[in-house]
A = this chain, B = another copy of it.
Amino acid sequence: MIIVIRKDAGKDKLEKLQNWLKACGVTPHVSVGERQTIVGCIGDVSQIDEGRLSAMTDVVASIKRIQEPYKAVNRQFHPQDTVVEIPVKDGPPLKIGGGNFQVIAGPCSVESEEQVVAIARAVKAAGATLLRGGAFKPRTSPYAFQGLREKGLEILSIAKKETGLPIVSEIMDPRDLELFEDVDVLQIGARNMQNYELLKEVGSHSKKPVLLKRSFSGTIKELLMSAEYLLASGNPNVMLCERGIRTYETATRNTIDLTVVPLLHRKSHLPVIVDPSHATGVASLVQPLSMAATVIGADGLIVEVHNDPPHALCDGAQSLTPESFAETMKGIANVRPFACR
C-alpha cells in the first residue's frame, strides 16, 4: 500500500500517521520527493481499514493498494489448487478443482417429486454428477412462484436417494440452515453475495461445500472478499461461480465475461464454476457457452435442465431439455481434453 501525503501536511502529522500504521502492524517507508511525499507500507496490510485511512484528509491525499485485501482465498498465500470434495453414498467423494471437472444439472425450481426424479435420472444418464434444484427461490416479484420450500428439499432428498446424485440447493435465510441437512452443496445466490449475516452463519456453522455466486454488479474483488467471509468464519470448501453481470447491453440477460475464469484462477486457489443458463437466459445459447467455458478452464458447470421447459414454473426459457443437455454433454466431452489448465 502506497499513501500519498498532502503537500501541506506538516512533519508532526506525518509522524502521527507513521505511528498509526505501526500500531496496525505494518512498516512505513517514507520517500520525500521534490513535489510529492509518499509512504510505502510493507507488511500485512489486510488489517488496515482503508476507509478510516482515507478519512485522515489532513495528511492523506490518496491511497494506492498494491496487495490485495483478501488473504485466505489468495493464491499468493496458498499456491496449490483447492480441491472441494463432495461425499457420495457408497463411493469415493466427487472432486471439483485441481483438474477435476463436474457438471451440476437440474431444474431451476423443484416442482414435484415426479419431475425432479425424472430430470435427475435423465441428467445422470447424460453424465451429470450433481443434481441442482431450487426449493427456496429468490424472485423479483412477490407474486411469482416462491418455491416449495421445505417440501422442495424433501423432494430433492428423494431424488438423491433414487439416483445417488449429491444435491445443490440455494439457501436464502440463516434461520434455514438446519433444513439443509441432507443438501450436499449450499448455494448462495447472486442477490445474497453480500448478505454477510448469511455468509457468517454458513461459514461458522457448516463445513459443507458452498457454491458462491457473483452478484449482478459484484467485482471480482468483492466476490473474493465474500468468499473470504466464508473462509475467515471457518469453512474452506468454497467454489466461486460466474453467472454473468449486469451491463448496459440488453440483448442478453446478462453479460458473462469468461475471462474471469483464468483470472480468478490466478488470484485465488478456489475452484471456478460457470453458470451458462443464467448468464444468457436463452436455452439455445447454453451449449456454445458451456463448451467455451470448458475450454477456457472452468472447474465445472451448473446447467438448468427441465423435462418440459414450456411449462416450467420458473426460468423455463433458459432450461435445456434432457435431449439438448445430452447433446451439450457430448460437446463438452469433445473439448474437455483441450481445456486451458
Contacts and interface: CB of A to CB of B under 8 A. Distances in A.
A225 interface: yes
Contact of A317 (B54, B64, B222, B225): B54
Contacts of A141: 46, 69-70, 225, 228
A308 to B, nearest CB: 9
Nearest to A201: B173
A98 interface: no
Interface string A134-146: 0000111111110
Interface string A183-212: 000000001101111001000000000000
Number of copies of chain A assembled together: 4
A290 to B, nearest CB: 10
Interface residues of A, number: 105
The 10 closest A-B pairs by CB, nearest first: A55-B316, A217-B217, A33-B42, A64-B64, A191-B194, A173-B197, A292-B292, A288-B340, A292-B296, A220-B251
A249 B258 contact: no
Contact of A312 (B29, B52, B217, B315): B52
A338 to B, nearest CB: 4
A251 B245 CA distance: 13
A310 B56 contact: yes
